[in-house]
Amino acid sequence: MKKIGVLNKDISELIASMGHFDQLTICDAGLPIPEYVWRIDLAVKEGLPGFVEVAKAVANDLVVQQVIMAEEIKKVSPHIDKKIRDIFVGVEVVYISHDVFKEQSTKSRAIIRTGEFIPYSNLIIVSGVSF
């Protein structure tokens, strides 16, 4: 359910169309995205836009029930893991293997691709409701 804030037309439309338990993925530049999943490609160059900034913008505009990340982020990119947990305070965080994550991401309503080059900078957001 949409709050306010995101200016990108496609992301704003996606957020407005999200229902309870719908999923959206925000990913780094390298996550494979199948042809059949709606790709919102924001990547301009390495690091632009950053994964954390995009996650924060979406978090400010969407009711979030759960966040799913790859287990590997805790060892390989712990600073990103912490930043995501700081953005989604009070939201359940679930960790799964990266292989399972890649499969799960294909069930998302859309995948937002950032220019991030930090390994495992990927998350799946499960939409909640505001009532």
Q: Which residues are the active-site residues?
A: 20
Provide the 8-state DSSP code for 31: S
E strands present in the chain: 23-27, 38-41, 64-70, 92-96, 110-113, 123-127
Start-to-end CA distance of the chain, whole Å, equals: 10
Give me the DSSP letters along 58-89: HHTTB-EEEEEEETTHHHH-HHHHHHHHHHTT
Of the candidates 22, 19, 24, 55, the one whose C-alpha atom is nearest the C-alpha of residue 131 is: 19
Q: Please state whether beta strands 38-41 and 64-70 pair in parallel, antiparallel, or not at all (unpaired).
A: unpaired
Provide the 8-state DSSP code for 48: B
